[in-house]
Structure 1
């Protein structure tokens, strides 16, 4: 990462750690499933390496942390930052819980596995011509791709308002989103201005962090980091 890249505002995508439902492949939307012990270790390990003063995700450079209201996301936020950092961020009004980051509403698919959803849809006479694709078809009695798009676009507008005056980090303007697997991948598509059904395969394991930013310090050129390098420490 060059000096110039380091000065461009970033959006960090922090997926919550593992839960028992995530471990078994169950679609988890509104259900309040807590992190399991391994999930807590995942987030703590990520925090140790990536989060802190002069690290990749430096709390002093944050303009806002947006968090899903689900308990697994709230717990992930608590584990990512130390108590002093959390107190300062809250005192400065930079911690916001928002339904815009709630996981995709799975409707009647809540708690089911992918194979079970496909079997259910077959029983209901669906998908005769094409197999189910959540990015195109959404979820029965849950959210459509258009509904998820609308709330994410609204959140992106909020982020632009924070970052557009600070495209060379004139003020702390990095943003962290603490949320869920499907939702954060959906966010990445909308950040890059792709429709939900755009065939962009992405991986974001539990407890991991992805990074979005801008090309050439330009609010009109949203981008993502394909790879990261790290600046040498000041001592070197």
Structure 2
């Protein structure tokens, strides 16, 4: 498979743009923040370059767009696929293909909502936790929120749903790309479960606010999930 022919189905991971809490590293789960002006600019730049007819994410090739219901994700969806993106004029995604769902909402941080990592570790130390090793969300989850096991379970259900959509068309019989519009932690967790890694597995990843990641399958085989570490892009039209 060449990167450009895009015959094997793909899953695009779209992280929302910057918020006020993104800037200082505060854990933002259910708190319904808006994008900053810079965050909107980040997403608009991505949309202009990568979303639209003939671009990397082409609306006519999409089977589903799955969006977190949080406001910052909804704003990002609109900047990518709405009239805000001039590339989309006359090429909007069919509303029937768009789903807003908690299945791709950010990790529920529970008691750690609004805190930074150092504050979380200090709080846990006061409780006598983590005596031998530092807190790690991928292993320890969040007090009052979701455990790693709970996150893995809901993402596994979503992975299965996406594979059921794409499996009949692994050789390009029809375009069935999927886009997830969501958040930093949950999208990185999704990558691990897509690759069938446990969440506690060491797989350092970065996904910038407003950025796009790409998953697919090796050898046109639904049983060989993979991720792109680099790919060629369609020429600009």
* TM-score bracket, shorter-length normalisation: over 0.9
Q: Runs of 4 or more off by more than 6 Å in structure 1?
A: none
Q: Secondary structure at the match of 1:216?
A: helix
- Provide the residue aligned with 1:89 in structure 2: 94
Please give the residue correspondences for 1:55-204 in structure 2 after superposition, counting only pairs within 5 Å.
55-83=55-83, 84=89, 87-90=92-95, 93-204=96-207
Q: Structure 1 residues 82 and 69 mapped into 2: Cα distance closer, same or farther (>3 Å)?
A: closer
Report how far residue 4 of structure 1 moved: 7.3
- The superposition leaves residues 38-80 of structure 1 with CA deviations (integer Å, 9 ceiling, x where unpaired) of 0000000000000000001111100000000100001000000
Relative to the length of structure 2, the TM-score reads: 0.94
Report how far residue 82 of structure 1 moved: 3.4
Determine if contact 1:167/1:218 at 8 Å carries over to the other structure: yes
Q: Structure 1 residues 158 and 18 mapped into 2: Cα distance closer, same or farther (>3 Å)?
A: same
Q: Secondary structure at the match of 2:219?
A: coil
**Higher mean displacement: 40-49 or 73-82:** 73-82
- The superposition leaves residues 170-224 of structure 1 with CA deviations (integer Å, 9 ceiling, x where unpaired) of 2220000000000000000000000000000000010000000000000000000
Relative to the length of structure 1, the TM-score reads: 0.94
Determine if contact 1:108/1:141 at 8 Å carries over to the other structure: yes
Q: Structure 1 residues 88 and 137 mapped into 2: Cα distance closer, same or farther (>3 Å)?
A: closer
The separation in 2 between residues aligned to 1:85 and 1:97, in whole angstroms, is 23
Determine if contact 2:60/2:93 at 8 Å carries over to the other structure: no
Q: Structure 1 residues 132 and 88 mapped into 2: Cα distance closer, same or farther (>3 Å)?
A: closer
Note if 1:225 corresponds to 2:228. yes
Q: Structure 1 residues 107 and 171 mapped into 2: Cα distance closer, same or farther (>3 Å)?
A: same
Q: Secondary structure at the match of 2:220?
A: coil
Please give the residue correspondences for 1:206-225 in structure 2 after superposition, counting only pairs within 5 Å.
206-225=209-228
Determine if contact 2:193/2:199 at 8 Å carries over to the other structure: yes
- Provide the residue aligned with 2:48 in structure 1: 48
Ranges in structure 1 where 5+ consecutive residues have no aligned partner: none
Determine if contact 2:7/2:175 at 8 Å carries over to the other structure: no
Report how far residue 5 of structure 1 moved: 5.4
Determine if contact 2:19/2:36 at 8 Å carries over to the other structure: yes
Aligned length: 232
The separation in 2 between residues aligned to 1:103 and 1:86, in whole angstroms, is 29
Q: Structure 1 residues 126 and 16 mapped into 2: Cα distance closer, same or farther (>3 Å)?
A: same
